[in-house]
Amino acid sequence: MPPASLPTAEPRAGRHAALALAGLALLAGASLFVGAAPLSASALLADGEGARMLMLSRLPRTLACLLTGAAMAIAGLVMQMLARNRFVEPSTVGSAQGAALGLLAVTLVWPAAGLAAKMLAASLASLAGTAAFLAMVRRLPVTQPLLVPLAGLAWGAILGAAATFIAWETDLMQFLEIWLNGEFSGVVQGRYEILWLTGIFAAAAYLLADRFTIAGLGRDAAVGLGLRYERVLLLGLLIVAAVTALTVVTVGMIPFVGLVVPNLVRMGAGDNIRAALPLVALAGAGAVLAADLVGRLVIHPFEVPAATVFGVIGAGVFVWLIVTRRGHGA
């Protein structure tokens, strides 16, 4: 046994998880009572109108924020392990843009397509966009870690430009805008439930946690430990693509969540995914809910999209991470 005074990652992670849970509960409580229309606890008890608003709008909106945030943060974490680089996430390297292209395609080719067909098209296109990015990463020199996010940004921009061109030509710009810059004001009962599916992929990511940690050590180390490296990459890709597609189809991407949240958590908890993933999920959920709350409050009674709020903060943290190279290495 090591002496008790030495810092170990495990108890720290436990304490952080308890704190994060408490903070999350507070935020969720606030989220239920903040909005364009006033709603107080006493009103809630007094009349049925308040309870209706809670169940139809506020609760769905709060849940959508939590689910989106957790899922996006997990997708970012998984992608960082697959790319072995901290500076990537689905909305900067082509996964989100791929999903948007897929959605555009199915909307144009088959306007009557149902949700399942849209999901499938978005997932497949996102998978292709992400796989192409990872194929690019393999050719980059490992000694230049900043080339990876740069290549990703360029690739994401190319796909994004293609999507913009198509959307412009076909009068779908307003949809594309929402797909890539999500917001929660339109979320009501019946319009967000599909986001619960992200829970399946979060659970899958947790089950595969050790494999992702080992994959993060590199191909040779992984093969030496008997891991089927390519299979683990593919499973990770599926998780990232599915979560991205689910988010794009329902509320739209919240850029930088997948980048900032895992980075901040990994600084403290380290890169053992089994320990980091629950914290990443909690922090992601809290971050998106907080962004949405801020968006509801700053120009009350109007709203700023959560993606815009998070984009401002997230971009700043992203630059800070790169400049200070906090937690260098993978």
Partner 1 sequence: MIEIRNLSHAEGRTPILHDITLSLPKGGVTAILGPNGAGKSTLLSLMARLRPLQAGSIAYDGMDIAATPTERLARKLAILRQDSTVGSRLTVRDLVGFGRFPHHRGRPGPADRAAVEAALGQFDLAPLAGRFTEELSGGQRQRALVAMAFVQATDYLLLDEPLSGLDMYYARMLMRLLRRLAEEHGRTVVVVLHEINYAAAHADRIVALKDGRVALEGPAAEVFASARLSPIFGMEIPVERWHGRPVALHYT
Q: Kindly state the smallest distance separating residue 199's Cβ from partner 1, in Å.
A: 20
- Binding footprint of partner 1 on the chain (CB under 8 A): 1-3, 6-9, 84, 207, 209-211, 213-214, 216-218, 220-221, 223-228, 266, 270-272, 327, 329-330
Contact 118, 141 (CB under 8 A): no
Non-local (6+) Cβ contacts of 63 within 8 A are 192, 195
- Per residue, what are the HEC states of 177-207? HHHHCCCCCCCCCCCCHHHHHHHHHHHHHHH
224 vs 316, beta carbon nearer partner 1: 224
Contact 142, 136 (CB under 8 A): no
DSSP state of 181: S
Q: Kindly state the smallest distance separating residue 327's Cβ from partner 1, in Å.
A: 6
Q: State how far the alpha carbon of 145 is from the alpha carbons of 2, 86, 203, in Å.
A: 34, 9, 29
Q: Kindly state the smallest distance separating residue 80's Cβ from partner 1, in Å.
A: 10
Q: Kindly state the smallest distance separating residue 211's Cβ from partner 1, in Å.
A: 7
177 vs 210, beta carbon nearer partner 1: 210
Nearest partner of 273 among 192, 190, 215, 201, judged by Cα? 215
CA atoms within 13 A on the CB side of 156: 17
Nearest partner of 198 among 166, 238, 163, 161, judged by Cα? 238
Paired tokens of 170: 């076909």
254 vs 276, beta carbon nearer partner 1: 276
Contact 242, 223 (CB under 8 A): no
254 vs 265, beta carbon nearer partner 1: 265
127 vs 222, beta carbon nearer partner 1: 222
1 vs 112, beta carbon nearer partner 1: 1
Q: Kindly state the smallest distance separating residue 325's Cβ from partner 1, in Å.
A: 12
Q: At what angle do helices 257-269 and 9-33 cross, to 10 degrees?
A: 140
The four Cα atoms 306, 114, 93, 260 give a dihedral, to 10 degrees, of: 30
42 vs 324, beta carbon nearer partner 1: 324
Paired tokens of 4: 């008790």
First to last CA, the chain: 29
Q: Kindly state the smallest distance separating residue 236's Cβ from partner 1, in Å.
A: 15
Q: Kindly state the smallest distance separating residue 174's Cβ from partner 1, in Å.
A: 42
7 vs 48, beta carbon nearer partner 1: 7
**Which residue matches tokens 């180390």?**
221
Q: Kindly state the smallest distance separating residue 102's Cβ from partner 1, in Å.
A: 32
Contact 252, 180 (CB under 8 A): yes
6 vs 18, beta carbon nearer partner 1: 6
Nearest partner of 256 among 104, 153, 328, 326, judged by Cα? 153
Q: Kindly state the smallest distance separating residue 162's Cβ from partner 1, in Å.
A: 33
